[in-house]
C-alpha cells in the first residue's frame, strides 16, 4: 500500500489567502449593493409631519403594502360605503377591523375606526395610492379631501393629481384622482422590526402619547417616524405615520370607547327553576328599591333656582362628539389660576387665557361671562357648531367645561395672535403679498366649507380680522363662533337673528334682519379690502375730521376712477417677501427686503388689483349679485393673476344701487355684537344696542348704503 504524505505548497497557501481576501471584498460589495438597493426606502418615510402634498419619493422606490387608520366623518356610513371610497371589497375592511359579524350595510357611528389596506406606490414624486372618485353634486376638492377621505389626503394634493380638471367648475360624473397618503418603512425601521407605516388621521385632543399607547409603540418611535419632538402639539385633520409590526385589534384600543365591534353571537340558554326564582327575587327587590328612592327624592326635591335652570342644558353635550370634558381644576391650573399675565384678550363674552396642559400642549381657554345672556348663547353656539365641524382652516375646539358655575371652552393655541394685530399693531415687519394672499385663501376655504360642505350650513355671522387667528407658520384659522348658527341648507335665509360687527355688516341686514350666506360673503369682502388696503373698515378719526372713513366706499370710488391701486397698502411697496424656505415665517424685517424687478412688480400689481376687485364683488350692495364662497375660495386658490382674471365674474364699473326698501330707525338698534366696543373705542359696553348714546355713535359710522336711510 502506498502512502502519500502531501504537504501544502506555498502556492496553494497563497491561493487560499487570496480566496479569503476576495470573499471579504465580495461580502463588502454585497453589503454596498444592498444598501444602495435599500436607499430608496430611506426617502419614503421619516419626513416632516403635516405635509399637504404627501410624502416624497423617487422613481426607484419600490411599492409596499401598508394600511390606513380611517374614521367615519359623516352620518349614514357603513363598511360597504367606506370600502367603496377606496375601491376594495367590504369583507377585507370588515376582516381587518374585526367587524366580520356586522352586516356590510349596517350604519356605523361617527368616529368609527376602520383599517384600510393601501397599495403604496410612487406616483411622480409622492408616495400614494391613487383612488378614482366620481364627482357628485355640491362636491369640491376641499370637501372630498376633508369629509369623505378624512385626514388621509388634502385638497392641495388633489389639485396636483388632477391638473386637467377645472377646480372652479367640477362636472358631476367626472372622475377625479384621490391621492391617499402613505409611505414605506426605511431600512433602519425594517431592521428594527417595522413591517409597515400606518397612515393615521389625527383627531381632537390626541397626543403622541395617546396614539403610541393605542398601538403599543414608544413615543420616540412615533416621533422619529414623523420628524417631531416628543412633546409636539398635533394638528387635527393631519396625517401621522405609525411604525408597526402588526395591526392591533381596534376593539382593544382604550381611547375609542364608542366603537362598534359587531353584534353579539351569544344565544339565550335555558335556566333552571332555581335560577329563575333567584332572578325574579332580584328583580322585585330592585323594583322596590327604585320606588323607594323615587318617593324619597320627590319629597326632598327642591325647586331648582333660575340659574340652575338656565344652565341645565349646557351639560347636555352629545357624548358621541369628539370633545373632551375638562375639569375646572385642571383648567385653573393650566392658566395659573387665570393669572392676568396669561390673559390673551377679552371681549363682550369673556376673556381668553393661555394655558398649558399636563402633556405640555398649549391651549387657549375662553372663560365666558356667566352674567351675560350673550355669553351663555355664545357658549351654546360654539359647542354646537364647532363640535360637528373639522377643517384645517378652522380653529379646533379641544373641549369644554361646565363646572362650579363656570363656562369654559378650550381651543388650540395660536402663537401669532390674530390678523387684526398683525395688520395694525405689528411694527418693524412687512406683511408681504404672498402671505396676505395665503391668509385670505385659508379664510375663504374655511368659509366655503361652512356654507357648502357641512351637513348643515353654518353661518359664521361675525367674520372680521380679529377673528382670524395665525399659527406659527402664519396659516390662517377662522375662529370665534359665538354668533354662529347651524341651519339646514333648505332653511338658509329664514333666520331672523341679526348679529355682527359694524363695518363688516351687509347693508341688507338692516332691512331684513336676516343673516344669510350672502351676508357672510359681504363680511369676507370687507376683510379682503381690509387686508389689501391695510386700513380699518371704519376709521373714526377720519370721520371726525369730516372725511369719509368707510373703507368699502373708498375702494369703490378708486375703482370708478380707474385707479384702484391707490388704496392698496403702501407697505406692500415694491418688495417681495420670501415665505421662508429655511422654515422662517412669512414676515420679514424691512432691512432684509430686496427690490424686485419691474416684471415682478407688474405681476404683483395685477394680483393686488384682482384681489381688490374680488373684495368689491363680495361687497356688492345686492346680495344676489355676490359670488358664492365656493367660487371665492376657488379663485383665491389660483396662483397666477391671468388665471384669476379670466375666471372672475365681471365687476360693475361703478357701485350698483341697492334694490331694497329703506328700514325703520328702530331696526338700527340692538344689531351689534359686544365686540364692537373694541373696534369703535367704546369701553364697558355690554349690550351696545340698548344704549341710545352708543347707538347714535354707531349710526354715525354707517356706510352710505345705510346712512341715507336714517
pLDDT, tens digit, 9 for 90 and up, residues 110-143? 888 999 999 999 887 889 999 999 998 877 787 7
- CA 496-499-500 angle, 5° bins: 145
pLDDT tens sequence across 572-604: 864 444 334 333 445 554 433 444 566 667 888
pLDDT at 632: 94
The answer as to CATH 3.30.200.20 being correct for domain 311-412 is: yes
pLDDT at 298: 52
Question: Is 102:90 a contact under the CB 8 Å cutoff?
Answer: no
Return binding residues: 366
**Rg, Å, the chain Cα set:** 31
pLDDT at 382: 66
Give the distance from CA 545 to its chain's centroid: 43
CA of 569: how far to CAs of 294, 379, 493, 587, in Å?
70, 36, 35, 15
Return binding residues for ATP: 366
pLDDT at 428: 55
The upper half-sphere exposure of residue 509, i.e. CA atoms within 13 Å in the direction of its Cβ, equals 29
- Spell out the domain ranges in the chain: 55-252, 311-412, 431-707
| CATH code linked to domain 431-707 | 1.10.510.10
Q: Is 262 left (phi over 0), alpha (psi -120 to 50) or beta?
A: left
pLDDT at 132: 94
pLDDT at 693: 33
pLDDT at 202: 82
Run of H or E residues at 623: none
Which ranges of the chain have pLDDT less than 50? 1-10, 12-13, 16, 18-20, 23-24, 26-45, 257-258, 261-279, 281, 299-320, 486-498, 574-585, 589-595, 662-710
Question: CB atoms < 10 A from the CB of 348, how many?
Answer: 21
Q: Catalytic amino acids?
A: 462
pLDDT at 8: 46
pLDDT at 126: 87
Question: CB atoms < 10 A from the CB of 614, how many?
Answer: 26
Q: Is 244 left (phi over 0), alpha (psi -120 to 50) or beta?
A: beta
Q: Is 193 left (phi over 0), alpha (psi -120 to 50) or beta?
A: left
Specify the 3-state DSSP secondary structure of 273: helix
Amino acid at each position: 500500500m502506498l502512502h502519500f504524505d502531501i504537504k501544502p505548497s506555498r502556492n496553494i497557501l497563497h491561493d487560499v489567502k487570496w480566496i479569503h481576501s476576495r470573499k471579504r471584498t465580495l461580502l463588502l460589495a454585497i453589503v454596498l449593493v444592498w444598501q444602495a438597493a435599500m436607499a430608496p426606502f430611506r426617502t419614503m418615510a421619516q419626513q416632516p409631519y403635516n405635509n399637504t402634498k404627501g410624502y416624497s419619493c423617487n422613481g426607484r422606490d419600490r411599492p409596499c403594502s401598508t394600511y390606513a387608520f380611517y374614521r367615519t366623518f359623516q352620518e349614514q356610513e357603513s363598511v360597504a360605503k367606506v370600502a367603496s371610497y377606496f375601491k376594495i371589497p367590504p369583507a377585507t375592511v370588515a376582516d381587518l377591523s374585526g367587524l366580520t359579524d356586522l352586516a356590510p350595510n349596517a350604519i356605523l357611528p361617527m368616529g368609527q375606526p376602520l383599517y384600510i389596506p393601501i397599495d403604496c406606490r410612487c406616483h411622480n414624486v409622492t408616495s400614494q395610492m391613487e383612488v378614482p372618485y366620481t364627482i357628485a353634486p355640491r362636491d369640491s376638492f376641499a370637501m372630498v379631501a376633508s369629509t369623505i377621505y378624512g385626514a388621509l389626503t388634502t385638497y392641495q394634493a388633489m389639485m396636483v393629481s388632477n391638473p386637467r380638471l377645472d377646480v372652479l367648475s367640477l362636472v358631476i360624473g367626472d372622475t377625479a384622482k384621490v391621492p391617499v397618503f402613505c409611505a414605506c418603512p426605511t431600512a433602519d425601521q425594517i431592521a428594527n422590526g417595522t413591517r409597515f407605516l400606518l397612515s393615521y388621521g389625527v383627531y381632537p385632543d390626541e397626543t403622541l402619547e395617546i396614539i403610541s399607547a393605542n398601538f403599543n409603540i414608544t413615543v420616540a418611535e412615533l416621533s422619529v417616524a414623523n420628524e417631531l419632538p416628543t412633546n409636539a402639539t398635533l394638528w387635527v385633520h393631519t396625517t401621522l405615520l405609525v411604525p408597526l409590526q402588526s395591526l392591533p385589534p381596534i376593539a382593544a384600543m382604550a381611547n375609542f370607547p364608542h366603537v362598534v365591534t359587531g353584534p353579539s353571537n351569544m344565544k339565550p340558554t335555558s335556566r333552571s327553576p332555581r335560577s329563575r326564582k333567584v332572578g325574579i327575587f332580584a328583580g322585585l327587590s330592585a323594583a322596590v328599591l327604585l320606588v323607594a328612592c323615587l318617593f324619597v327624592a320627590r319629597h326632598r326635591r327642591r325647586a331648582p333656582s333660575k340659574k340652575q335652570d338656565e344652565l341645565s342644558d349646557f351639560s347636555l353635550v352629545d357624548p358621541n362628539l369628539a370633545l373632551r370634558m375638562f375639569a375646572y381644576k385642571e383648567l385653573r391650573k393650566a392658566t395659573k389660576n387665570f393669572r392676568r399675565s396669561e390673559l390673551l384678550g377679552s371681549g363682550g363674552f369673556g376673556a381668553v387665557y393661555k394655558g398649558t396642559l399636563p402633556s405640555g400642549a398649549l391651549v387657549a381657554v375662553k372663560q365666558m361671562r356667566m352674567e351675560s345672556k350673550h355669553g351663555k348663547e355664545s357658549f351654546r353656539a360654539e359647542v354646537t357648531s364647532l363640535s360637528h365641524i373639522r377643517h384645517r382652516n378652522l380653529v379646533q375646539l379641544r373641549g369644554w367645561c361646565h363646572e362650579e358655575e363656570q363656562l369654559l371652552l378650550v381651543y388650540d393655541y395660536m402663537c401669532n395672535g390674530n390678523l387684526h394685530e398683525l395688520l395694525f399693531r405689528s411694527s418693524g415687519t412687512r406683511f408681504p403679498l404672498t402671505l396676505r394672499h395665503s391668509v385670505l385663501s385659508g379664510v375663504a376655504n374655511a368659509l366655503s366649507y361652512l356654507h357648502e360642505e357641512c351637513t348643515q350650513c353654518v353661518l359664521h355671522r361675525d367674520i372680521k380680522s380679529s377673528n382670524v387667528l395665525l399659527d406659527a407658520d402664519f396659516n390662517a384659522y377662522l375662529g370665534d363662533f359665538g354668533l354662529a348658527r347651524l341651519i339646514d341648507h333648505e332653511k338658509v335665509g329664514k333666520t331672523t337673528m341679526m348679529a355682527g360687527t359694524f363695518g363688516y355688516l351687509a347693508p341688507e341686514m338692516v332691512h331684513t334682519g336676516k343673516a344669510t350666506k350672502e351676508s357672510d360673503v359681504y363680511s369676507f369682502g370687507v376683510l379682503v379690502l381690509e387686508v389689501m388696503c391695510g386700513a380699518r373698515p371704519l376709521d373714526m378719526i377720519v370721520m371726525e375730521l369730516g372725511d369719509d372713513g368707510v373703507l368699502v366706499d373708498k375702494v369703490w370710488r378708486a375703482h370708478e376712477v380707474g385707479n384702484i391701486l391707490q388704496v392698496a397698502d403702501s407697505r406692500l411697496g415694491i418688495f417681495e417677501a420670501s415665505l421662508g424656505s429655511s422654515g422662517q415665517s412669512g414676515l420679514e424685517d424691512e432691512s432684509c427686503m430686496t427690490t424686485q424687478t419691474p416684471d415682478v412688480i407688474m405681476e404683483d400689481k395685477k394680483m393686488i388689483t384682482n384681489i381688490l376687485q374680488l373684495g368689491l364683488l363680495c361687497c356688492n350692495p345686492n346680495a344676489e349679485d355676490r359670488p358664492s364662497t365656493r367660487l371665492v375660495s376657488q379663485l383665491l386658490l389660483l396662483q397666477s393673476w391671468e388665471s384669476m382674471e379670466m375666471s372672475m365674474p365681471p365687476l360693475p364699473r361703478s357701485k350698483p344701487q341697492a334694490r331694497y326698501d329703506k328700514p325703520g330707525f328702530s331696526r338700527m338698534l340692538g344689531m351689534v355684537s359686544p365686540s364692537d366696543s373694541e373696534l369703535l373705542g367704546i369701553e364697558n359696553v355690554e349690550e351696545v344696542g340698548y344704549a341710545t348714546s352708543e347707538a347714535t355713535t354707531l349710526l354715525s359710522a354707517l356706510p352710505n348704503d345705510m346712512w341715507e336711510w336714517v
